[in-house]
Chains A and B, each alone.
Chain A
Amino acid sequence: MMRFRQTDNERSGLFTRRALLLGGAQAVLLSALAGRLYQLQVLDTQRFTSMAEDNRISMRLLAPARGLIFDRTGQPLAVNRNNYRAMVSSDRGRGAEMVLDRLDQIFNLGEGEKARLLRELRRSRNAQPSVVRENLNWEEVARLEFNAPDLPGVFIDLGQSRDYPEGELMSHIIGYTGRVADEDLNGRDDPLLQLSTVRFGKKGVERSLEDDLRGRAGAVQVEVNATGRVVRELDRTEGTPGANALLTIDFELQRYATERLKQRQIDIGSDHQSGAVVVLDVMTGDVIAMVSQPGFDPNMFARGISQTEWRDLLDNPERPLNNKAIGGAYPPGSTYKMVTALAALDSKTIDPWTVLPCNGFIELGDIKFHCWLKGGHGGLAVQGGLSNSCDCFFYEAARRTGVDKIAEMANRLGFGKLSELGLPGESPGIQPSRQWKQEKYNKRWEQGDSFNLGIGQGYMNATPLQLAVMTARIANGGYEVQPNMLLAKALPREELAPPAVRTKPNGPSLRLDPKHLAIIRQGMSDVVNSPAGTANQLRFDPATNKPLEPALQFGGKTGTAQVKRISERERAMGVTEAQLPWHLRSHALFVCFGPVDNPRYACAVIVEHGMAGGATAGPVGRDVLVETMRRDPSRHMERFKKTAS
């Protein structure tokens, strides 16, 4: 008993000492916990509070409605329609792989698309959503809703996407929109562009007016949970919709010009249809119609173009994606003769009555420069030279004037540089000069080069738009009007109204002698209206087949631009254009303005490989110009007010 007591006392004494030691250790550790609490909740609390808010609150940008685009009569050309989109969000990609795999089963995303989405999600802080699929149909919406419990972070968003009611007809003018690319961000720090649902203008007016059409982003502050699902809305600032745009285009005229261009090529039996028409208001520079054939369906891009559709567009020899009206550069041929004539008159190397001889050709060394008329015109002054399109006259005029004066005049009339139209895809063409040839070919300018330039051949290249601008500047009395396509832009839509009618040219004077211009215009009038004119058959009204009434009479100039030089042998064998393959035939050109005594509209037509300017392009130009004068879009603004509202 005693021993037990003693043992127990010993044990309990040791136990007590060690238990107290243990208790002390526990007290120290518990104090450490309290210290940690102090550190987290007092010292660092602000940092953690802001981190908690960062977690919880997500700023989401609200895409504003993109501005609508109308033609000058108020016809809608680009509108927005509802678009049900499948969206996915996840905080920096957490759990995204599983969700994407399940979405893959529903939509067949494919590996590439999955990888792209995963990248996007990992980049996004605060669970900014990404677009999985657009334009969901009812069945797809139903499947998503049905599987919602297995798809955390996936939701359906009602957004807007672009719709182009006129499709191909307006494709080159309106263009289309697409995902924001890196180069689009260039110099733009609009936060809206970070939004995956936002579309950016890629072509046409959608591109040139991008910054007006886009609008300003709104923002909504939402509370999100850990899977990125929005729990509630905390604050909302509405954005500003994009400005609506009223274009200078007359939609009906555009349709008419497109049909005429197409029909003409069917009529001459061409197996390809490729060409361009530009109609300008010579006073304002308004582009009233701008056709480039063929077009494409911009709605393909709006709903997402497939690989095969894209390849088909790229591989088509008629190049439907090129806007030939502003981007196609062609030798202008005889339509350039007005430039040569004006340069010669302006530099006083010829007088209006100077007669230059034509024997059918001019020899320069051992090279023969032929006139189109075998045997020649005898001798002509400048007005007759134009109406007969005598090549020899312009060889000689070019020789006398020299390349420097011609190039200078051409630049004044708009050649060799970009216009102020601002559409993407415009070409400056080529206005050759001594300096240009030296830089390009490291060769001296030759006399023969001047001969070729004099008739718009050789190195010379111009776009249909430049030809129309030249014609407009000649027609308006020598004022530097610039082509433009935007009649008005406004927000809201009710304020969209065209400007007042203008009857004076909108541009500085080119300081050309009005008498010279009058002679040129008279020469162009003779082309159509004098019996000797090269396009005399165009003096008839296409509707009645009677000569045009005076108010609709017009002046013009034909042009047939060689693509392939015709050799002496071929000339001797009498090879005709129609026997050549399509891509080697000459381009057919026609420029015109009207009414002849009070010009208001200018028109340029090119039919690619259309063989003869007067025969192929002429009727198209005549029909379009006459129709333009009949509709007289520049003076019928009140019509807009009726249709727009």
Chain B
Amino acid sequence: MTSLALGTPAPPAFSERIWRINWGLVLVLSAIAGIGVLALYSAAGGRYDPWAARHAIRYGAALVLLLVVALVHPKIWLSLAWPIYIAAMLLLMAVDVIGKTGMGAQRWLMLGPMQIQPSEIAKVAVILVLARYYHGLTREQAGRFLFTLPPLLVILAPVGLVMVQPDLGTALMVLLGGAALLFVAGVRLWMFLAAIIGALGCLPVAWSVMHEYQRKRVLTFLDPDRDPLGAGYHITQSKIAIGSGGLFGKGFLQGTQSSLNFLPEKQTDFIFTTFVEEWGMAGACLLLALFALVLVWGFSIALRSQHHFGRLVALGVTAMMFLYVFINTAMVMGLLPVVGVPLPLVSNGGTAMVSVMFACGLLIGVNVYRDAQLPRATR
């Protein structure tokens, strides 16, 4: 390409790069993690063990990761996109074969003392690969059907592998996150329409391959009262906890539903409920507002990026954050079936924390290198 030779601006100086890091966003993320520490402290009955302290330490380490990732030039990520994706796919396959079963699904892989969840890596990898792919296409190409097939494959391969585990939540997130990227990259609207219609047609098939517990969850979602002691129990108890919190909550450490164990999974997927029971609608709105701030930041970074790769990465990360927050909170409030998606930076769990902070690092990196000139990579 000729463009590279012409007046390439010097990469920003190190001090400039530090200055360009969105410290405000970092502050918001830290506030969210702080709320996580608070909620986990309460979930453990007013103790730092076993969750709150580790959550704080983990966040500290992940913050370092975020800063390192943010300072890496996007061209490195451009070139690493495929290797990361392939590694993630291999790990996903490994999980399906030798993974550790937890909660009726194989999700974890033991790497020495580390327990990792490859599906979390896959979420980021899909964003990177799709961004890289569309970075190299013109607008007309992006609109064409044939050029849409490879990204579809990129999305559906991990979705399939995650479904096998089975992990409906992650599959849903990768699918919707990928779709969001395709949408902003310029895929024609009729293709989305066709996909939606096709998906509706496939529902009966999907129903037939679903696990019994997944079907139960869907049925329970549609009618929570059909089994108030079995599958509907979780969602009913969660609604009771949230509803009984009222406007200002029962007060810190005063949540009866969580301390008396009526809440299931109170430190992971239902951490929002634990928090909201004690802090009420005020607390819930504060937390949601903090997440909304992250999203706004994400959009503004995406819109200000001078290069398409950056735009797509930033938007992909933003979409992923949104999906995390929306699916999780809608689920605990009984608006969506229980699908097992954590609340980022609040739920207890290492891999999700690392992948979210890694993604946010990418997002901030886009801002730091917003005016970088990137070669249009060959496919």
Which A residues contact B (CB, under 8 angstroms)? Answer: 1, 4, 7-8, 10-12, 14-16, 18-20, 22-23, 26-27, 29-30, 32-34, 36-38, 40-42, 44-45, 47-49, 51-52, 55-56, 91-94, 223-227, 231
Contact = CB atoms under 8 A, between A and B. Distances in A.
B139 A11 contact: yes
A573 B330 CA distance: 102
Nearest to B138: A7
B260 A56 contact: yes
A51 B244 contact: yes
A49 B288 contact: no
B281 A42 contact: yes
A7 B1 CA distance: 14
The B contact surface, by secondary structure, is helix
- Chain A CB within 10 A, most for which of B186, B233, B240, B333: B240
Contacts of B3: 1, 4
Nearest to A44: B243
A571 to B, nearest CB: 78
Contacts of B147: none
A43 to B, nearest CB: 9
Given A22-B180, A22-B319, A30-B288, A41 B247 contact: yes
A52 B244 contact: yes
Contacts of B335: 32-33, 36
A90 to B, nearest CB: 10
Given A1-B3, A22-B180, A41-B245, A52 B281 contact: no
A10 B137 CA distance: 12
A23 B299 contact: yes
B281 A48 contact: no
Given A33-B326, A41-B247, A52-B257, A19 B242 contact: no
A40 B239 contact: yes
Contacts of A33: 288, 326, 329-330, 333, 335
Contacts of B276: 37, 41
A26 B295 CA distance: 9
A32 B186 CA distance: 27
Given A15-B186, A22-B183, A29 B139 contact: no
A11 B308 contact: yes
Contacts of A8: 307-308
A18 B184 CA distance: 5
Nearest to A29: B326
26 contacts: A8-B308, A10-B139, A14-B186, A15-B186, A15-B308, A19-B303, A19-B311, A27-B292, A29-B322, A33-B326, A33-B329, A33-B330, A36-B335, A37-B276, A37-B333, A41-B245, A41-B281, A42-B246, A42-B247, A45-B247, A56-B257, A93-B229, A223-B256, A225-B260, A225-B262, A226-B261
Interface in B304-348: 307-308, 311-312, 315, 319, 322, 326, 329-330, 333-335
A47 B281 CA distance: 16
Given A10-B139, A52-B256, A56-B260, A34 B288 contact: yes
Contacts of B299: 19-20, 23
B260 A224 contact: yes
A381 to B, nearest CB: 85
Contacts of A32: 335
B183 A18 contact: yes
B311 A48 contact: no
A225 B242 contact: no
A47 B1 CA distance: 67
B158 interface: no
A48 B242 contact: yes
Given A29-B326, A93-B229, A45 B246 contact: yes
Interface in B260-288: 260-262, 276, 280-281, 284-285, 288
A93 B288 CA distance: 37
A437 B311 CA distance: 109
Contacts of B262: 55-56, 225-226
B281 A94 contact: no
B244 A49 contact: yes
The A contact surface, by secondary structure, is helix
Given A33-B288, A47-B243, A51-B240, 10 more contacts: A1-B6, A7-B139, A8-B307, A11-B186, A33-B329, A33-B335, A34-B288, A37-B242, A37-B284, A225-B261
Contact of B376 (A4, A14, A38, A226): A4
Contact of A38 (B239, B281, B292, B322): B281
Contact of B261 (A20, A26, A227): A227
A133 to B, nearest CB: 26
Given A4-B3, A94-B229, A37 B261 contact: no
Contacts, number: 144
B139 A16 contact: no
B239 A48 contact: yes
B288 A36 contact: no
A30 B292 contact: yes
Nearest to A17: B184
A229 to B, nearest CB: 9
Contacts of A92: 229
Interface of B: 1-3, 6, 138-139, 142, 180, 183-186, 229, 233, 237, 239-247, 256-257, 260-262, 276, 280-281, 284-285, 288, 292, 295, 299, 302-303, 307-308, 311-312, 315, 319, 322, 326, 329-330, 333-335, 376
Given A11-B186, A23-B299, A33-B333, A55 B256 contact: yes
A40 B242 CA distance: 7
A26 B291 CA distance: 12
Contacts of A55: 237, 240, 256-257, 260, 262
B315 A19 contact: yes
A579 B257 CA distance: 81
B139 A41 contact: no
Contacts of B329: 33
A325 to B, nearest CB: 53
A144 to B, nearest CB: 22
Contact of B240 (A10, A12, A52): A52
Given A29-B326, A225-B260, A41 B308 contact: no
Contacts of B245: 41, 45
- Chain A CB within 10 A, most for which of B2, B180, B262, B335: B262
A642 B330 CA distance: 77
A48 B236 CA distance: 10
Contacts of A29: 322, 326
A15 B311 contact: yes
A48 B312 CA distance: 43
A633 to B, nearest CB: 59
Contact of A48 (B229, B243, B260, B285): B243
Contacts of B243: 40-41, 44-45, 47-49, 51-52
A110 B240 CA distance: 38
Contacts of A51: 240, 243-244
B363 to A, nearest CB: 14
A225 B258 CA distance: 9
A44 B330 CA distance: 17
Contacts of B288: 30, 33-34
Contacts of A12: 308, 311
Contacts of B261: 225-227
Contacts of B183: 18, 22
A287 to B, nearest CB: 54
A11 B138 contact: yes
10 nearest A-B pairs in the assembled complex, by CB-CB distance? A48-B243, A52-B244, A225-B260, A226-B261, A41-B281, A40-B243, A49-B244, A45-B246, A10-B139, A48-B244
A32 B299 CA distance: 20
A231 B245 CA distance: 21
Contacts of B142: 11
A8 B334 CA distance: 43
Contacts of A14: 139, 184, 186
B117 to A, nearest CB: 25
Contacts of B247: 41-42, 45
A4 B240 CA distance: 57
